[in-house]
Amino acid sequence: MTLHHRPASTSQVQAVIFDWAGTLVDFGSLAPTQIFVDAFKSFDIHITLDQARGPMGLSKWQHIRTLLDEPDIAAQWQAATGSAASDADVDAIYARFMPMQIAKVGEYSHAIEGAADTLAALRAQGLKIGSCSGYPRQVLDVLLPLAAAEGIAPDHVVAGDELAAGGRPGPFMALANVLALKVGDVAACIKVDDTVPGIHEGVRAGMWSIGVSLSGNEVGLTAAQAAAMPAAELARLKAHAEDRLRAAGAHYVIDSVAQLPEVVAAIGLRLAAGERPA
């Protein structure tokens, strides 16, 4: 029997919980990255795209706090303002970031190739589809209808700012999906994410965790840039991304969600054999 026709084994998996940017939409996770650079620049603080990518996966407020705690950025803030960055300063940058992100997220909302087909295939097997994001609800309110028009419409969505317990790297958003979807066993859930905090989230929730390398934040290229890059260089970037995601606890790493159905099949077989995520 091929991996494409496994009703007995696939039924062991109950739900798949996806990240958004870099996983389902926005190849390269560009929308949040560039806006962080622009928001900091509006305060005369200069950060690189690589610096902006570093804490990706956290809630956006915590992302800003983490950036301001980096020595180079902290030194810039101290020189510009005469004091260390406070939580009130994080609030000010966040307030600048939010309208910029809301205005721009639609430009980066395109579904990643194969994502809609993957969701359809999982639903055809009876799986529930959850999702969560570092994006706040106001940003998701713009993104969700645009994604739905391209066939990306999970059964449940949790935003990065709406749980009192907090967001990643804690398990809370993933577990909120378990509750909403009424899944009876966290070991029957799969978390799919392109960031290190997102993999930590899945592992801490007791789920199988799958990292996404090529389409995600760790490689950080547009689809066109990836296609134009020499094969050896692209392979090097993917290998580095895979190493980071596996070090975070990923049980599997794939290029994009287009490859996910085969991994879901493999996990179904492992569950049927009595395995649980380590």
Annotation marks residue 19 as catalytic: yes
81 φ/ψ angles, rounded to the nearest 5 degrees: -115, -15
Annotation marks residue 104 as catalytic: no
26, 38, 44, 60: the active-site residue = 60
CA gyration radius for the chain? 19
192 near 210, Cβ under 8 Å?
yes
Separation of alpha carbons 189 and 198, rounded Å:
14
Q: DSSP of 157-184, one letter per residue?
A: -B-TTS-TT--TTSSHHHHHHHHHHT-S
28 near 220, Cβ under 8 Å?
yes
Separation of alpha carbons 114 and 137, rounded Å:
25
DSSP annotation of 275 reads -
Catalytic positions are 19, 60
